[in-house]
Amino acid sequence: MRATVRGVTLTGAALLAVVVAAGAWVWSSGGADAPSASPPKTLRVITWNICGEAGGERGQSGYCPLRDRPEKKAGRIAALARERDANVITLQEVCGGAPGSHVALLRAALGPGWSVRHAEGARPDGETRCRDGLSGDLGVAVAVRGEIVRARSENALPPDPQGVSGQTLPVLCVRVEGWTYTPCTTHVLPGEEPRVREQIAAVRAFVRAEDRPAVLTGDFNRNAGAPQLAPLVSSYAVCPAADGSGRGAVTYHAWDPEKRAHRFHELDHIFFDSPPGVRDPLVDCGVGEDLMDTTPNEPGGPGPDGYSDHAPVYADIRTGS
């Protein structure tokens, strides 16, 4: 059975149309404060694997909803950020570094006051360029409502010992003017091969090298109770937290064509440091399942009912500032 979690209320089509058409938005008088160098008292984080570069037609294993509509994905991310009053957005499987890419479209949709950085990674074939007419290079991205003063990234995935895969998977951290916390994001290799533990250790070491409180987000390709994630679970608080069964909230949907069955998994997490002197720093934690495609991936089937095979995860974290 699917876990019951709070979904993110969808923004009306009319509002989305205005956001996308204008390429920006203006915060309402009842919304967030104007961006400044003052550290936010609450980090309002959204992380989302938007499967923006995945290949494949409907019915194929690499199928991604709305893959050919990057402007729709960027518009929905921006609308969700406004609805959540977010000040941190992190993305995986996103194209960036070129006009018309997801990152470029998102930067325009978010408008003034936001900064965005992108770090590229390579597919198993070793290529970084996004396929089939999409602009930019594959990778991860961090957007913040503030001024990024430094960005660091590195490939955290060790080389394939068999020399077959040329895949790279970056970890990206940014420092923001006036902020005490460092937002970071990554994408961890699926499966059980030894490189997974090495990659997770490299990610943890990279983030800890910031030597300051951090929020580490991403698609970790396993639930929070998985043994490979123990170094992160023992170092940070996590949203969504695993329950007693080792399972957390549903963040990913796959279709099994042989068994004609839905498969739901808990792959996406927000790890964060608890600031000294702050009890219960996690104000809110949830998953926007309404934005995840849950239709059977069959040839000639109906259109998707979501924007990605992943759902966005959000957390509001009290910083103690």
Q: Is the dihedral of CA 54, 57, 63, 67 positive or negative?
A: positive
Higher pLDDT among residues 6 and 162, named by residue: 162
If you average pLDDT over residues 53-69, what whole number do you get? 87
* Boundaries of every domain in the chain: 41-318
Is residue 279 pLDDT above 60, yes or no? yes
* Each residue's pLDDT tens digit, 180-225: 999 999 999 999 999 999 999 999 999 999 999 999 999 999 999 9
pLDDT of residue 217: 98
User: Rounded CA gap, 159 and 192, in Å?
Assistant: 15
User: Rounded CA gap, 150 and 212, in Å?
Assistant: 14
pLDDT of residue 49: 98
If you average pLDDT over residues 288-305, what whole number do you get? 92
If you average pLDDT over residues 265-278, what whole number do you get? 91
Q: Supply the DSSP string of 237-265, one letter for each residue.
A: EEESPP-TTS-----EEEEETTTTEEEEE
In which band, very low, low, confident or very high, does the pLDDT at 243 lie, cut at 50, 70 and 90?
Answer: low
User: Rounded CA gap, 77 and 186, in Å?
Assistant: 18
> Please, what is the Cα angle at 265 between 156 and 154, to 5 degrees?
10
pLDDT of residue 248: 59
CATH match of 41-318 with 3.10.450.710: no
pLDDT of residue 311: 97
pLDDT of residue 10: 34
* Each residue's pLDDT tens digit, 77-108: 999 999 999 999 999 999 999 999 999 999 99
In which band, very low, low, confident or very high, does the pLDDT at 37 lie, cut at 50, 70 and 90?
Answer: low
What is the reported pTM? 0.87
If you average pLDDT over residues 234-243, what whole number do you get? 84
Task: Please state, as a whole number, how many other Cβ atoms lie within 10 Å of the Cβ of residue 123.
Answer: 18
Query: How buried is 158 (Cβ within 10 angstroms: 0-12 exposed, 13-18 middle, 19+ buried)?
Result: middle
Please report the beta strands in 34-87, taking only residues with DSSP state E, as ranges in sequence order: 42-49
Is residue 14 pLDDT above 70, yes or no? no
If you average pLDDT over residues 114-120, what whole number do you get? 98
3-state SS of the chain?
CCCCCCCCCCCCHHHHHHHHHHCCCCCCCCCCCCCCCCCCCEEEEEEEECCCCCCCCCCCCCCCCCCCCHHHHHHHHHHHHHHHCCCEEEEEEEEECCCCCHHHHHHHHHCCCEEEEEEECCCCCCCCECCCCCCCEEEEEEEEECCEEEEEEEECCCCCCCCCCCCCCEEEEEEECCCCCEEEEEECCCCCCCHHHHHHHHHHHHHHCCCCCEEEEEECCCCCCCHHHHHHHCCCEEECCCCCCCCCCCCEEEEECCCCEEEEECCEEEEECCCCCCCCCEEEEEECHHHECCCCCCCCCCCCCCCECECCEEEEEECCC
